Structure 1
Amino acid sequence: MRIVFAGTPDFAAAHLQALLNTEHEIVAVYSQPDRPAGRGKKLTPSAVKSLAQANNIAVEQPLKFSDEGAADKLASYHADVMVVVAYGLLLPEHILNIPKRGCINVHGSILPKWRGAAPIQRAIWAGDKETGVAIMQMDKGLDTGKVIQIATLAIEDNDTSASLYNKLAALGPRTLVDTLAKLDTLEATEQNNDQATYAKKLSKEEARCDWSLDAQQLARNVRAFNPWPVAWFDYNGQAIKIWEAEPVSAKSFEKSACGEITEYSKDGLSIKCASGLLLIKQIQLPNKKRQAIADLVNGKPDLFAPGQCLL
């Protein structure tokens, strides 16, 4: 088939590379405009654009598809299908109808669960036991189109959004290629809107630890918000980032207040929660590199005082 591909980050680039390894013809690539990056804030192309240029594929970077000529430009490529993966730009209904077979999207969840911007993170945050990728026929709604194919995988207890992202970046391309090969035989299925959940964007404020939550939830937050925005807590007016933590029993500290430091040793930094303790294994002090609590204790044995209560 003649394919137009639309995507921006490295997750999308993995899917583009998989398509380049097939007999399909990638006639054009759409990606977000170059963004400032690095200390010098130099305009930097997306991972998808860089891959397209390395393979001599035409690249389009419209600010929006309502721009004059955008629809005509897409139509000029005479695509059989448009594949959309983490593109980051809304496609109006008239654009969805331009390719002969419409637009299909690779979404990082088991639709209709976790429609929206942060499906990978929300699956961990909610304590889901599995996730996956859904190949969907796009319509004018937000991730509401008919589902063509789904592939699933288990969420491990130590998965972060970074590790799960990498797993889905491997599963998604295989599923996409398989779906395109079977597109004539697969039957698209309507989503059950009553089962839909929404994966809202993450925020730095949401990543702040609320010690009135139970330790299980806070440990999931730490994994879900790694590598962004990273769970954190306030300590003497400074934001301390948490990179690794686990929930443990609090039988000996049931009468301790939420937010109370119960232990600071090479075993970790323990903080009382509504239920259980959050045992923090790795943190990052302001303007410092992340480090294990076991190492921090050696250099700063009095940094955290047991009995002190964190707000």
Structure 2
Amino acid sequence: MKLVFFGTGGFGRYPLVCLSSHHEVALVITSRGKTESTVASLCNALGLPLLSTSNPNREETIKIVRELSPDILVVTDYGYILRDALISIPRLASLNLHPSLLPKYRGAAPIQRAIMNAERETGVTTFFLSRDIDKGDIILKQPTVIGINETYGELKIRLSRIGGKLLLRSMALAQRNFKGVSQEGNTTYAPKIRKEERKIEWHGSSEKIKNLVHALSPKPGAYTSFRGKRLIILRGRAIPRSGKKPGEIIDDEDLLVSTGDGSFQILKMRPEGSVTMSAYSFKLGYRPRVSEVMGA
């Protein structure tokens, strides 16, 4: 089948590779930004035709897509809402791949929110595009268990791989005129991560801090302050050992920081103005001391 692919972020990487291996990708449309998108870099590597635009709903873009006469239009991790003028072009259908089990976690940050909320299960969903965001009829779902220490970056890659395979099956169903089923169940939302949510509150529970750290790793990163500078924490472990004042370092060997109900062991971080490093490298370079306070 001939398809047009809309995508920008890293979640769309494996689906695009998968689709290009089995179907004709007539055009890839990505967001125009200051830096080259993940999808744009991949297109250059694979030799796929690429169009970068800040507005996919412009008449010239619609004309280009219409002249290609695609069978399928695929959207994932794109960031723009497509108008009916685009959605209605393909011969068979316009599909979206979303990294959650819809109708749970509709919105911009479903993977991060699932980890932040300590969900044990998530997945990917394919659905037919409609006027309403993430509300179209469902084609297929594929659930998966979230690893107890899995980060956003790790889970995104895994869901991307699952999603690529699910898209192939979904396109086959669309070719057989499958119309999908309506979304049922409790609806929840996954709004974009706000800047203020990234700050670690040490008076919270160790488990909540761990979930926040892993949900925002590797980017944008949950942060605290240390010696007057920002410290982004990328991986850690909730520890039952109790401490004193929240934020206080209670063990400089294991890099344990006191929390509201125990302590949190920092395993990986990125100090302001430096590179990502292990706790061991941080201890050698910064020599944190017991009783120093983070987030002060």
TM over 0.5: yes
Which secondary structure state, in structure 1, belongs to the residue aligned with residue 198 of structure 2?
A: coil
Name the residue aligned to 2:260. 274
Say yes or no: does 1:257 pair with 2:245: yes
Cα deviation per residue 1:85-140 (whole Å; 9 max; x = unaligned)?
21222201232122223310011111111111111111111111111110010111
Identity %: 27
Say yes or no: does 1:93 pair with 2:92: no
**1:300, 1:47 → 2: CA distance?**
34
Name the residue aligned to 1:13. 13
Which secondary structure state, in structure 2, belongs to the residue aligned with residue 281 of structure 1?
A: strand
Letter aligned with residue 296 of structure 1: F
Relative to structure 1, the CA distance from residue 157 to residue 139 in structure 2 (aligned partners, 3 Å threshold; closer, same or farther) is same
Contact 1:49 1:59 in 2 (8 A): yes
Q: CA RMSD in A?
A: 2.2
Name the residue aligned to 1:189. 181
Name the residue aligned to 1:29. 28
Cα deviation per residue 1:188-215 (whole Å; 9 max; x = unaligned)?
12113x6121111124432111122211
Contact 1:231 1:241 in 2 (8 A): yes
Contact 1:233 1:240 in 2 (8 A): yes
Contact 1:203 1:229 in 2 (8 A): no
Deviation of the 1:152 alpha carbon:
1.6
Contact 1:257 1:309 in 2 (8 A): no
The match for 2:147 among 138, 153, 156 is 156
TM-score, normalization: structure 2?
0.90
Contact 2:126 2:140 in 1 (8 A): yes
Q: Which has the larger radius of gyration?
A: 1
Contact 2:248 2:290 in 1 (8 A): no
Which secondary structure state, in structure 2, belongs to the residue aligned with residue 297 of structure 1?
A: helix
Cα deviation per residue 1:57-100 (whole Å; 9 max; x = unaligned)?
44333322442333333221212220112122220123212222
Structure 1, 122-131 or 85-94: larger mean CA deviation = 85-94
Which secondary structure state, in structure 1, belongs to the residue aligned with residue 34 of structure 2?
A: strand
**1:90, 1:185 → 2: CA distance?**
24
Structure 1, 152-161 or 57-66: larger mean CA deviation = 57-66
Say yes or no: does 1:304 pair with 2:289: yes
Say yes or no: does 1:80 pair with 2:39: no
**1:283, 1:29 → 2: CA distance?**
36
Deviation of the 1:272 alpha carbon:
2.1
How is 1:119-198 mapped onto 2 (pairs within 5 angstroms)? 119-183=110-174, 184=176, 186=178, 188-192=180-184, 195-198=186-189
Letter aligned with residue 266 of structure 2: I
Name the residue aligned to 2:278. 292
Cα deviation per residue 1:40-69 (whole Å; 9 max; x = unaligned)?
xxxx3x343344455554433332244233
How is 1:42-61 mapped onto 2 (pairs within 5 angstroms)? 44=36, 46-52=37-43, 57-61=48-52
Structure 1, unpaired ranges of 5+: 38-43
How is 1:61-72 mapped onto 2 (pairs within 5 angstroms)? 61-72=52-63
The count of aligned residue pairs is 295
Structure 1, 12-21 or 179-188: larger mean CA deviation = 179-188
Deviation of the 1:10 alpha carbon:
3.8
Contact 2:101 2:122 in 1 (8 A): yes
Letter aligned with residue 144 of structure 1: K
Which is richer in helix? 2
Contact 2:27 2:51 in 1 (8 A): yes
Contact 1:64 1:90 in 2 (8 A): no
Name the residue aligned to 1:41. none
